[in-house]
Amino acid sequence: MTLPATGHEPEPQDVATEAASYLEGAADPLERYHRATAGQVHHEAVARALQVERDRALAALNADGMSYERLAAIVPGMTRSGIQKAVERGRR
């Protein structure tokens, strides 16, 4: 499934392998729950950190003279308005 906000598709096998790595050796359902929760929290934090970097990159491109319209044309799944918001976040 291609994610509209990024235009990228995760490899299902890679996702399954990484998810399984968090659960390896955990037969008890409560232990599986805690490990799955820890993995989810970790990946959500990574996703937030990567979003900050994406916003900073867009802000840098805009500072170098690339308009919101041009950025929207080359960044999959983002509108001019979305680009502007990302650039503003990236400038902070």
Look up residue 32 and give its two tokens. 């599986």
Query: Is position 2 within any domain?
Result: no
Task: Show the domain range for 48.
Answer: 29-91
The model scores a pTM over 0.85: no
65 HSE (CA, 13 A, CB side): 0
Query: Is position 72 within any domain?
Result: yes
Query: Is position 3 within any domain?
Result: no
Query: Is position 47 within any domain?
Result: yes
Query: Is position 51 within any domain?
Result: yes
For 25-77, the pLDDT digits (tens) are 999 999 999 999 999 999 999 999 999 999 999 999 999 999 999 999 999 99
Query: Is position 6 within any domain?
Result: no
Query: Is position 74 within any domain?
Result: yes
**In the chain, how many domains are there?**
1
Q: How far is CA 87 from CA 1, 5, 23, 48, 62, in A?
A: 27, 15, 38, 15, 7
Look up residue 57 and give its two tokens. 């990159």
Look up residue 7 and give its two tokens. 């235009």
pLDDT over 90 at 1, yes or no: no
Query: Is position 55 within any domain?
Result: yes
